[in-house]
Structure 1
Amino acid sequence: MEALRLWTEGSAWFSNESGKKGLIKEGCYADFIVPSADYFSVEEEEIKDIVSLLTVVGGKIVYGDRIFKSLAPQELQASPEWSPVNFFGGYQAVHPVKEPLPWETSVTS
């Protein structure tokens, strides 16, 4: 629990944004994710495999995958055009999300 608090509230402190970031409360930025697994119930070695299925920044959806893909904006191509990400994928290709997630159902916009 302490590690998660340091990752959220602590990061806000480093960017001089305490009270605006790192908490889910009125007056804070509306930035959050829906993780692919429950951080508090997975084995410690599996924490590194958790990825975002939905990312909201400033109250707007900026990324969606799997059941949230229909809500996501069009993905941008990596630049420059010859970037390996365009051919092999980004970090998410290294640790694929395990199939299926028990709570998954179709989500529509």
Structure 2
Amino acid sequence: MNSREKGKRGERELAGELRRHGYDARRGQQYCGVNGDADVVGLPGLHIECKRVERLDLYAAMSQAEHDAPDGMLPVVMHRKNNCQWLVTMRLDDYMEIYREWEAGKH
């Protein structure tokens, strides 16, 4: 399978997982194909770079997400390899902002 097809399959798989969690997610370039679109859309406020590979340069993937993310969107990389669960990588400052909001909502 060529890498483009594997990428599309990974994006569909991730969108399905996000739908399972209750979000109306889909491949970002499914309809318009504009460069700079998020790989998967449907989580408000997040610009998602999807990687479904065995070996991943996380810093390069995050750099791509940061470069492509519009102002006001948090860049994240959602990734997994075979026989493993999906993981999310994001900048520490962005994570801490989300965590503070979550923590404040608990009190």
Q: Flag whether TM exceeds 0.5 (same fold).
A: no
* Structure 1 or 2: more strand by fraction: 2
Larger Rg: 1
* Structure 1 or 2: more helix by fraction: 2
User: TM-score, normalised to structure 1's length?
Assistant: 0.30
User: TM-score, normalised to structure 2's length?
Assistant: 0.31
